[in-house]
Amino acid sequence: MKVALITDTHFGARNDSTHFLDYYEKFYRDTFFTNLDNCGITNLLILGDTFDRRKYVNFYSLKRTKEMFFDVLAEKNIQVYMLAGNHDTYFKNTNDVNSVDLLLREYSNVTVIDTPQTINVDGNDICMIPWICPENYQECMDEMNNTTAKVCMGHFEIAGFAMHRGMPSEEGLDRHVFKRFDVTFSGHYHHKSSDGNIHYLGNPYELTWQDYSDPRGFHFFDLDSYELDFIQNPNVMFHRIIYDDKNQEIKDVLNKDLSACASVYVKVVVVNKTNPYLFDQFMNKIYGLNPLDITIVEDALDLTDDDNDDKIDEAEDTVTIINKYVDTIQNEGIDNNRLKSMMRELYVEALNLEQA
């Protein structure tokens, strides 16, 4: 039997941007529910961080969320098992007050799991672990140690896995905690990755430039065969263009297909700009497509043909710059790994708070 798995939907992200709500809705309408219908899915497991903000909810975002997601799940009679993630909980030391419990009680098909427990889905036991906090730590460890389930699903912070591409976590649970399970699935980290029996599923869509060109989507999981299928979200919110007019004809520059720039965030990386007027014409074409935002990166790098891609990626990776700076700090009283982790967390939080 196949079930659907999704995590870190972050409804209300990017300061409740209506552009992102539209982006979400297109994914659910055209990709998510279409695939659920085609596969006859009747059970969905959500592994945490359904809502973006811990402290409050925007009513318009909540209305759109219910219309595009929860109302449709109810209409299709899909049973939902939903973990409370760290973004869903009001307090940091307890899961007692959480948005998924308070906001979704009207849906009889939704079961909120804010305490560790083993559930049964069509004859299959699954150990479900919500966000681990100081209050429930021992209870979560006991449940994982004592359950008979061979499948574990949670919203975990596991050391060594990438939070975002190129951002490995220095802290968290030791992976050996999960060695007794045949397979473990987790939300929390937005980059999709696997190592042994542990799988981070990744979130369904791009939220920041850190997610650029990093596949997003959701999964189907066969409870009998343990086969895991990834369904990629075909829509993107961030698009990068390399501008180089050094060895190109004017017509080639102006005839470049820029249709992907419409209604997305655009970053133009200028490798060579030998004709300023031509560049202005090129940018006017992009502006005419009404992108949500345009960032131009130029005059920052000495790029050669051999290493363009690597250096362009380096220019976009703020986290790399942060890590390199921290590595230069020589002070016995400073834990550089801990400082890197704190700086990365602040960086990600700043991106999520950025005005759309």
Residues 263 and 193 in one domain: no
Residues 243 and 225 in one domain: no
Domain final residue pick, 180, 203, 232:
232
Residue among 181, 124, 173, 119 at smallest CA distance from 150 = 181
Write down the pLDDT at residue 201.
98
Contact criterion met (CB below 8 Å) for 46 and 7: yes
Q: What is the pLDDT along the chain (356 residues), one digit of tens a residue?
A: 999 999 999 999 999 999 999 999 999 999 999 999 999 999 999 999 999 999 999 999 999 999 999 999 999 999 999 999 999 999 999 999 999 999 999 999 999 999 999 999 999 999 999 999 999 999 999 999 999 999 999 999 999 999 888 888 888 999 999 999 999 999 999 999 999 999 999 999 999 999 999 999 999 999 999 999 999 999 999 999 999 999 889 999 999 999 999 999 999 999 999 999 999 999 999 999 999 999 999 864 444 444 445 444 444 456 667 777 787 776 767 777 778 777 777 776 665 555 44
Structural domain total, the chain: 2
Alpha-carbon gap, residue 321 to 239, rounded angstroms: 22
Residues 124 and 24 in one domain: yes
Write down the pLDDT at residue 325.
76
Residues 202 and 304 in one domain: no
Residues 221 and 242 in one domain: no
Alpha-carbon gap, residue 24 to 205, rounded angstroms: 8
Domain final residue pick, 232, 251, 268:
232
Residue among 252, 66, 317, 307 at smallest CA distance from 325 = 317
pTM more than 0.95:
no
Domain final residue pick, 193, 208, 232:
232
β-pairing, 79-83 vs 110-113, is parallel
Residue among 263, 215, 209, 216 at smallest CA distance from 240 = 209
Residues 37 and 10 in one domain: yes
Residues 112 and 188 in one domain: yes
Residues 169 and 305 in one domain: no
Write down the pLDDT at residue 311.
47
CA atoms within 13 A on the CB side of 307: 7
Residues 158 and 71 in one domain: yes
Q: Supply the DSSP string of 250-286, one letter for each residue.
A: HHHHHTS--GGGTTSEEEEEEEE-S-HHHHHHHHHHH
- Domain limits for position 74: 2-232
